Structure 1
Amino acid sequence: MSVPTVRPAATGASAPALAVRRAAAVLTRLRRARLFHPDGRSFAGEVTIWGTPGPPTGVALLDEPGRYPATIRLSKGVSTPGSWPDVLGLAVRVHADPGGPFDLLVSSSGTPPLLRAVPLPRRRFAGTYSTISPLRAPRRRLWLGALADPESPDLGRSLTEVGAATRAAEPRLVLAVASAVGPWRPVGQVSIGTQLSARQDAALAFDPIGNLPAGLRAAGPLAWLRDQTYRGSRRARGVTVQSGGSLGATV
């Protein structure tokens, strides 16, 4: 049985898609915040790509060295208090030009192959994050992730500590790719800079399905479900995804 490929440019929506979007919108309105990862802090920053060690992925943005401005958000999945464990989230918008923005959304997970497909609660914001579901590249399926940088200032155990860490220094996380069974391969780093305002954070709207670089695509039932729920949640919040990679308050 073939799996569906999510095509963000398609017009219209099926009855199941509309039902999922409406349910997501209702839940978002009831929560009065993002449906997923409502509590977070956003930052300006930079993404540096070193290039892919070993066999290339076939995705130019990952294989070719470059430096890009970025918008970064660190968050807690269910908003547990303070430093309590939670499924932590990292969202990175790479403002690539040309080609438009690339939105990478990853959740706290384990490092080994079997655990990188499982969202795992933890306390510390510095650690392993994974896309959980693989993305399809020209040559293979890929997991994208972010790893702790042992030489970086620590990000702490709460969103308050995250904000304090970025005021004192410029923390970093390592970007990496992996196959289904192979180890993580570092391809670059995320540098976290100045914190954005609460208003800017509320206006952020990431699209991990539609905003992918050339050569990467999301496929399968989970990607379809994620696409529909994000669409419904964005509509209820009254925000839209910016297609031009704007660095303004509404990215």
Structure 2
Amino acid sequence: MADLPEAAGRLAAVPLALLARASGGRPMHPRGVVLTARLHRTGLPRPSGVAWLDEPGTDDVLVRLSRGAGLPPRWPDLLGFALRAPGERPVDLLLSSSGRGRWTRRLPVLRRDPATTYGSMMGYRGPAGPVLLAAHPHGPGVFGLAATVGSGPEQPFARVVLGERPPQAPPLHFDAVLHPPPGLVADGPMARFRRPAYTAARAALGEPLDAVRPPVR
């Protein structure tokens, strides 16, 4: 039987590649601002078996706050919270404005104010089962990161303190499927939908397609 999410992703890859060429690499979330930030990982209270979630650490990161459709600020839009932890193997988190409840945090919600809750529409899988990530506003310029592991409750594991706009923002093309946190693998229908779309966008920009992981099932 055909994999419907992956097939849909292949269909969407064609217009997304065209948009990527036309927009210089951003078929979605064309309007945004890149900020320096500090990621303070305190670790999950209940270990998940994923060191990046469980162990404390501090990283200099970049955060891009964006509007999904690029609508004027006075209009609601699907807002984006993207985080890049640089390194030999970077970590990319892509979160979208979502509901705040237990059953609505995976549902996209249009909002105006970027100081809102962001959830991962795409899930991950780790040693302890499915993992969902979220970011919650914790005051001006501060977001808390939380993870839901398996059927357990949401638990905080990090804090992101936003900084200033860098003098020259580097070009950032986030790929949450190719660059998950170490110890996690992009999983589920949304991952299978996104994989061909991301591949098409990278190909449209002439970026290397090596190191692409096997299809997620």
The aligned residue for residue 209 of structure 1 is 177
Contact 2:122 2:188 in 1 (8 A): no
Secondary structure of the equivalent of 2:186?
coil
Moved more, 24-33 or 78-87: 24-33
Alpha-carbon spacing, 1:238–1:204, altered in 2? closer, same or farther (3 Å): farther
Query: Which residue identity is paired with 1:58?
Result: G
C-alpha displacement of 1:89: 0.3
Contact 2:177 2:191 in 1 (8 A): yes
The aligned residue for residue 87 of structure 1 is 78
Query: Which residue identity is paired with 1:133?
Result: M
* Cα RMSD (Å): 2.9
CA distance in 2, matches of 1:123, 1:18: 31
The aligned residue for residue 177 of structure 1 is 147
CA distance in 2, matches of 1:191, 1:29: 33
CA distance in 2, matches of 1:132, 1:43: 23
Alpha-carbon spacing, 1:18–1:87, altered in 2? closer, same or farther (3 Å): closer
Q: Any unmatched runs of 5+ in structure 2?
A: 212-217
Task: Tell me the alpha carbon deviations over residues 195-233 of structure 1, each in whole angstroms, 9 at most, x when there is no partner.
Answer: 135x635x2111101112332001233212212112222
1:45 pairs with one of 32, 37, 45: 37
Contact 2:36 2:62 in 1 (8 A): yes
Query: Which residue identity is paired with 2:156?
Result: P
CA distance in 2, matches of 1:49, 1:215: 15
Alignment of 1:145-164 (within 5 A): 145-149=134-138, 152-153=139-140
Contact 1:117 1:130 in 2 (8 A): yes
C-alpha displacement of 1:112: 1.3
The aligned residue for residue 64 of structure 1 is 55
The aligned residue for residue 218 of structure 1 is 186
Secondary structure of the equivalent of 1:41?
strand
Task: Tell me the alpha carbon deviations over residues 49-97 of structure 1, each in whole angstroms, 9 at most, x when there is no partner.
Answer: 01101x211110110000011011000011110232111000001235x
Stretches (4+) displaced over 3 A: 15-23, 29-33, 179-183, 237-241
Task: Tell me the alpha carbon deviations over residues 180-203 of structure 1, each in whole angstroms, 9 at most, x when there is no partner.
Answer: 654431111111112135x635x2
Alignment of 1:65-144 (within 5 A): 65-95=56-86, 100-144=89-133
TM-score relative to the length of structure 1? 0.73
Would you say 1:228 and 2:217 are equivalent positions?
Answer: no
TM-score relative to the length of structure 2? 0.84
C-alpha displacement of 1:20: 5.0
Query: Which residue identity is paired with 1:229?
Result: A
Alpha-carbon spacing, 1:48–1:62, altered in 2? closer, same or farther (3 Å): same
Contact 1:47 1:67 in 2 (8 A): yes
> Structure 1 vs Structure 2: percent identity of aligned residues?
36
1:36 pairs with one of 6, 20, 28: 28
Alpha-carbon spacing, 1:93–1:32, altered in 2? closer, same or farther (3 Å): closer
The aligned residue for residue 214 of structure 2 is none
C-alpha displacement of 1:17: 7.4
The aligned residue for residue 249 of structure 1 is none
Contact 1:23 1:232 in 2 (8 A): no
Would you say 1:200 and 2:169 are equivalent positions?
Answer: yes
Task: Tell me the alpha carbon deviations over residues 138-165 of structure 1, each in whole angstroms, 9 at most, x when there is no partner.
Answer: 112111010010xx22xxxxxxxxxxxx
Contact 1:172 1:190 in 2 (8 A): yes
Query: Which residue identity is paired with 1:34?
Result: R
Query: Which residue identity is paired with 1:193?
Result: G
Alpha-carbon spacing, 1:16–1:127, altered in 2? closer, same or farther (3 Å): closer
